[in-house]
Amino acid sequence: MCDHGGKVQPIPHQETVTIQGAPVLCLGDLVGAPVIGCPLASPTTKPCTTVLAPLPGSVSTSMFIQGMPVHVDSFTAATDGVPPATVIVEFAGQEIVQA
């Protein structure tokens, strides 16, 4: 979710590993993902529409799927909004994953 309340629509690139039926998101699955419903709109602002690069601490350093690090629940990234917003994970869907 962006800081303004827009919802991110993830684009999973792998479906081999799932948790409760949903693909585990890896590095790259959220970059370029659309942000839907950001209410920020005025003559001097632009609503968030796309997730940009993840910020440090957004991926695991010990868990990989097909060579790509998995995203962790502390995931954050910038958006293309003006002013830019931060995307945060509202609920990851699970609390502990062990490999």
**pLDDT tier at 20, thresholds 50, 70, 90:** confident
Q: What was the pLDDT predicted at 93?
A: 67
**pLDDT tier at 97, thresholds 50, 70, 90:** low
Is 21 among the domain residues?
yes
Number of domains, the chain = 1
Is 79 among the domain residues?
yes
Is 1 among the domain residues?
no
Chain mean pLDDT for the chain: 89
What residues make up the domain containing 51? 7-88
Is 94 among the domain residues?
no
Residue-wise pLDDT tens digits, 57-92: 999 999 999 999 999 888 999 999 999 899 988 776
Is 23 among the domain residues?
yes
For the chain, where are the E strands, in sequence order? 7-8, 18-19, 22-23, 35-36, 51-54, 59-65, 68-71, 76-79, 86-88
Decide if pLDDT at 98 tops 70.
no
Is 72 among the domain residues?
yes
Is 95 among the domain residues?
no
